[in-house]
Structures are given as structure tokens and as C-alpha cells.
Amino acid sequence: MNITELGRRHGLSRSTLLYYDRIGLLTPTGRQLNGYRRYTAGDEQRLAQICLYRQTGLPLSEIRKVIDKPRKDLSASLERQLQHLATEIESLRNRQRIIVGLLQNRRLLERVNIMNRETWTKLLRASGFTDTDLHRWHQDFERMDPDYHQRFLEFLCIPEDEIASIRNWSREAIK
């Protein structure tokens, strides 16, 4: 197939495929008599992989490495990308919390689909948790994984001073 057909099949422009060829990411298997690039089913498979990895946000330089090397490179690259995304998401959530704080309207948290303390508490109470159960839950969480307990409380948009208080009484109750 030619470059236009390949591009249409994968929703890519001709210029994108020319760029992939220029950087050595997707080189056509051959040329037609008129000099046009000719792509095979194998080339299309490679492009499908490239498109899949682009959806993960991997940079093209990283995609070239993982396509041409063993699976362990892919796993390492995807794990790095996943960590990068988690960091980016946390940064965006922090920005949301700051904006909501500046607007002084906690109801906006619900509109932007942020889990907050009120929603989480309602969910646990609807599941039958009492005040004693909630305290025990925090104590167990703090004992089992203090760092994750901290991150979870931050995720719930609880102010820093209240997080410190929750974690302190959770630790004291463990002793």
C-alpha cells in the first residue's frame, strides 16, 4: 500500500509518516516504480505498535528503542511513563485544589470529580462504618503504609494541618 492508504488506515497524515521515515521509526519496505513508498503488512503492524505506544504518551525516541529491543525495555519504559503520568496527575490535582481554595467554594470539587473527605466519609458511613470503625481504619492504614496514608489523605483534599492531626492520633492509638 502507499503512504496515503497507510495514513488513512491509522488516522495519520502523510507528513507524519514522512517524518517517521525521516527519523528512522517507520521506513517503508520498498518503492514503487514511480518512486512512491510501498508499505507491507509488516510495516503496517509496526505502525500499529507505534500508534499504540503514542497513545501512552511515550516520546518517539523511546518508542524507537522499545520497538527494536527486547520486552524488558518496553516494561521499563511503560513503568517510567506510568510514574510520569502519576506525578503529572498529582500536580494537576494540586492545581485544582488551589483553584478551589482560592475560589473558596468546596462544592466545586464535586463538579471536577475530585474525591473529597465528605464523599469518602458518606461512602464509608453508608457501608456501615461507625466513628470507631473510621478511627480503626485510619490506625490500620497508618500502621500498614504511612506514606500511602499521607498520599490518600492529600487525595481527599484534606488540609495539611488536619492531615497531620489525623496521622498523629492514628500513630498514638497504635502505641
Q: pLDDT tens for residues 113-170?
A: 667 788 889 989 999 999 999 999 999 999 999 999 998 898 887 888 999 999 999 9
Query: Taking the domains of the chain in order of start, what are their residue ranges?
Result: 3-58, 69-112, 115-175
Q: Residue holding cell 478551589?
A: 100
Say which CATH topology domain 3-58 has: Multidrug-efflux Transporter Regulator; Chain: A; Domain 2 (1.10.1660)
Residues 6+ apart with CB under 8 A from 133: 124
Question: Cell 518508542 identifies what position?
Answer: 63
| Segment 29-59, tens digit of pLDDT | 999 888 889 999 999 999 999 999 999 999 9
H helices of 11-116, where? 14-22, 41-55, 60-68, 71-103, 108-111
Segment 93-115 mean pLDDT: 72
Q: Rounded to whole angstroms, how far apart are CA atoms 74 and 88?
A: 21
Residue 175's pLDDT band (boundaries 50, 70, 90)? Answer: low
